[in-house]
Amino acid sequence: MVKGKPVGRGDRDHSSYQLLLTATGSTSEEAMQAGQKHPPILYFSTPSQAMPVLTIRHLKTNGPKFHWQPNPNRRITVSADMYVEDDETFGSNETVRRQKTNSAILSAMGIAQSVMDFEVRMGGEIRVEFTVTASLFDSRGNAMINGEVKLYEGTSESTGDLDGVRQFQLYIPAGATINHFVRVNNDDEGGDFATIALTVTNSGV
């Protein structure tokens, strides 16, 4: 049994108490050995005027052992600010700006998940497609981002005439926010282009 007794009378401050350790019916060594096999019940007592009795009870269990593991799931959030410019031979160039934010939960390492599909059409002849996928890179929650921007220009916004492609890959550490800028040009005919200012965050779930 472990009991607390006052050092001096009249002093009610908790710091003036000391714990006197005794093991009833056994030596200190025997009590320690017994405690290792069967953790004892400990009683910490002080005068009722100072504080109530606090009892800490240790119970032995033969149940299964559980090991705590961190949650490996990560939330990838992508925010994109897209600007598209249509080069005109006569008159001013046409421009448009659009924003979009998406997120996805990553739970399996190495398996890519779609985070964003962002499409902008303008001028009756241009279409820009922006896609982002993400996957867990390791068990610590670091992630890998893969992005692709395609610029189509033709006789309509539904044209299949692909004139420019840009691809990129980003490593996003757990808990980090990364900014990235990408530009795709009309490599076949020139003039037209699109830019994307990108913000990617890797946060816990």
Which tens digits make up the pLDDT trace of 3-37?
444 444 444 444 433 443 333 444 445 544 545 44
pLDDT recorded at residue 72: 74
Span 51-96, pLDDT tens digits: 444 444 545 556 655 554 556 799 999 999 999 999 887 888 899 9
Alpha-carbon span 128 to 21, nearest angstrom: 77
Determine the 3-state secondary structure of 39 from DSSP. Answer: coil
Q: What is the pLDDT of residue 61?
A: 56
**Percent of the chain clearing pLDDT 70 (strictly above):** 65
Measured from the Cβ of residue 199, the count of other Cβ atoms closer than 10 Å reads: 14
3-state secondary structure of 151: strand
**How high is the pLDDT of residue 16?**
37
**What φ, ψ does residue 145 adopt, rounded to 5°?**
-115, 135
Angle in degrees, CA 161, 132, 183, rounded to 5: 55
Spatial CA neighbour of 195 closest among 130, 139, 140, 114: 130
**Domain coordinates of the chain in residue numbers?**
2-56, 74-204
Average per-residue pLDDT for the chain: 78
- Does residue 64 or residue 143 have the better pLDDT? 143
Please tell me the predicted confidence (pLDDT) of residue 1.
44
- Note the pLDDT of residue 170: 97
- The CA R_g of the chain, rounded to the nearest whole Å, is 34
SS3 12: coil
The pLDDT of residue 63: 60
